[in-house]
Amino acid sequence: MMKVNDFLRYEISLSISYEDYFRLIYDNKYLIEARLGPDRTFIAKKSVYGNSRKKAVQKAVQWFWKDFKGVLGPAHKIMTVNDPHDEVVYDDDFACNDLGNKYLDEPTIYRILEEADGELARDESQGSENHPPNSVKRIKRRRKQSVQLTSRLTQSPGGTIYYRMTEMPAAKNARPKTKNVKLASKSLNKALKEIARRGLDKFEKFENNAKRKKVSSPKAKQAA
């Protein structure tokens, strides 16, 4: 029974060899939708519904193993699921092993390789029933850069925020040292509050006060 939120339609395609197709007939699993295609291969189509392509692929894999019980071999060798709603999109966070990006049909593979501009390629590894290969693999990874939130705050690609803290020198004539302190906060506002709460900006405040005194001292002398 179709659930209320499973409203998106996807199409499963099976590319079945001539011999395997007639083996299905002998096993009383005749596919009415199957049509003989090129290279003596039967093409079978079946609709599946889900609230996303990832859900549709999950249902397709379950249906494949439930109905054919391994007669046709591994699903990844003969089954694809289309992408009618353009959900498979390449970006910096594209995960080849995400179920929503697996079992891609030819048009989708062609499109995603174009979008990747040389950073992806077809995954032609053999895989196994329990560990099927991905449709595409990454051959070149973009290096993500840290984001500079303020002059002293940076955020890593993973979301961790670091504060560039100035340490008070132990000796009088020693130069102050700086080090990056990892913060627990994940947003700029919370990071600023955490810095104040932990007193990480003590020397920064001291420096600012010292600069203000230097700027104001000549004026004070002139006034005198």
DSSP string for residues in 99-167 = GGGSSB-HHHHHHHHHHHTTSEEE------SSSPPPSEEESSPPPPPPEE-SSSEEE-TTS-EEEEEEE
Identify which of 81, 76, 39, 73 has the alpha carbon closest to the alpha carbon of residue 57: 81
d(C-alpha 69, C-alpha 207), whole Å? 73
The pLDDT confidence band at residue 122, using thresholds 50, 70 and 90, is very high
Is a pLDDT exceeding 70 seen at residue 108? yes
Q: How far are the Cα atoms of 61, 149, 155, 158 from residue 42, in angstroms, in the given order?
A: 19, 57, 53, 46
Burial 96-126 (b: 16+ CB within 10 A, else e): eeebbbbbbbeebbebbbeebeebbeebeee
115, 70 contact by CB (below 8 A): no
Six-digit token string for 189? 């506002």
Least confident of 61-65, 73-77, 82-86, 167-171: 167-171
Longest CA span, the chain? 109
Dist. CA 134–CA 116, nearest whole Å: 15
Beta bridge partners of 181: 163
Percent of the chain with pLDDT over 70: 80
Q: Is the pLDDT of residue 98 over 80?
A: yes
Confirm if 125 and 69 have CB atoms less than 8 A apart. no
Domain residue spans in the chain?
8-138, 147-217
pLDDT at residue 209 in the model: 54
Average pLDDT, the chain: 83
> How confident is residue 30, by pLDDT bands cut at 50, 70 and 90?
low
- Percent of residues in the chain assigned helix, strand, coil, to nearest 5: 35, 25, 40
Beta sheet of 161-167, edge-to-edge order: 147-148, 153-155, 161-167, 177-182
What confidence tier does 117 reach under pLDDT thresholds 50, 70, 90? Answer: confident
Mean pLDDT value across residues 43-59: 95
192 falls in which pLDDT band (50, 70, 90)?
very high
Q: What is the pLDDT averaged over residues 45-68?
A: 94
Confidence of residue 220 (pLDDT cuts 50, 70, 90): very low
Tens of pLDDT, residues 137-186: 998 766 667 889 998 999 987 788 999 888 766 667 767 778 888 999 98
